[in-house]
Amino acid sequence: MPPVHPGALLADAAARWGTPLYVTDLDAAAARLHGYADAFPGALIAYAVKANPDPQLLRRLVAEGAGVEVVTAVELALARRAGCPPERLVMNGVGKRDEEIRLALEAGALVNAESLHELGVLLRTAAGHDAPRIGLRLNPALDAETHPHLATGAGGSKFGIPLAQLPQALRLVREAGIGLESVGAHVGSALESAEPYAALAERLAEAAAIASAAGLPPARIDLGGGLLVADDAALDALADAVRSHLPDAARLILEPGRSVVADAGWLLTRVVRVQPRPAEGLAYLVADAGMTELIRPMLYGATHPVSLVVPGARLEVDGGGEVHLAGPICEAGDILVRCLERSLTAEELAGAGPGAVLAIGRAGAYGAAMASVYNGRLRPAEVVLEAGEARLSRRRETLDDLLSRDA
């Protein structure tokens, strides 16, 4: 279950900075990070910046000992700006441009090749650098039983070098006269069970043995990320699943993103309209946040809990029935939460009329990171909580920000 939100702080944040508004609890995110470190002593826990690139969040996690996993030059720059040391930088990604590979190598990052073609480019570029750190990201061909869009380890996905091509990849590395920093894979995201990681660990242990037999013993084994939640029970199960195949935790790299920050963040939104549909037995609360602020429900069918932070007008819905939270975007699929009665008590729902402020939970990951300006929407401000206080991390986007790009 997600932590109980700090209602007074959220109400104050909404009053000070308006809605929609992203709020991230830095202390909660740091606690999740330490949970990983405790479960895997000595491992490199490289936070996946794509989940939430808030600058103060990155600085806090790096200060707490995290590495950073990036997939673009911009994410690399954000990680370096946050103070991440070179030995804790990891770059993945199937479409890294040649220039991005060069920048990552210059930064001292571990750069993982995801195809034989990319490996060739990486090796040629690495030849001009001292002590380059390169790795192989493999495709484990595992069914992680998650949403198809999140099944990065499936055999038909675009990610990673097929296991059948591992000998060829090792030959290219050996001929280049460069050592192998890591072998790894990412099995998928939003995984509710540790079972896929047991199968992944077994295949990566085999891949490491093959590499060692070829004269390229990898210093690290990279398990990627993808765990849905990172409470103590889930992390214990993950560690147990991995340990039987990869017992040396200090040799591992993990790349959690969502499980570190999802439950540490909320999207605050204000109800602006009520749209009743009595003939259909439902009503919509139309909020000032929508798919442009949180696309996961539309993109993945993701579900998010909702809490009432500030009551609004009394909600009167003719005929009763279901109440859905909808966004203002001109798309029929712009529904943030269906059946609010599953999250709110009857009394809370009655207070959720126009003017009410709602907190959409589990929005710390892939909320702000995937926000868009579709329909002329300006991206919300971002606020962080730390030691019981709220402060602005990123201001709200303005029309001038958008127009500044015009030629």
Q: Which residues are catalytic?
A: 330
Owner of token pair 């090792």: 170
Alpha helix stretches (DSSP H) within 18-165: 26-39, 55-63, 73-81, 98-106, 116-126
Peptide bond into 196 cis (omega under 30): no
Q: How far apart are CA 155 and CA 143, in angstroms?
A: 8
List the structure tokens of 320: 């009763």
Alpha helix stretches (DSSP H) within 328-390: 346-350
List the structure tokens of 21: 């508004």
Alpha helix stretches (DSSP H) within 270-393: 296-300, 346-350
Q: How far apart are CA 63 and CA 57, in angstroms?
A: 10
Q: How far apart are CA 151 and CA 148, in angstroms?
A: 5
Q: How far apart are CA 257 and CA 52, in angstroms?
A: 8
Q: How far apart are CA 48 and CA 68, in angstroms?
A: 6
- Using alpha carbons, select from 84, 129, 126, 86 the residue that is nearest to residue 108: 86
Q: How far apart are CA 219 and CA 49, in angstroms?
A: 23
3-state secondary structure (DSSP) of residue 359: strand
Q: How far apart are CA 116 and CA 122, in angstroms?
A: 10
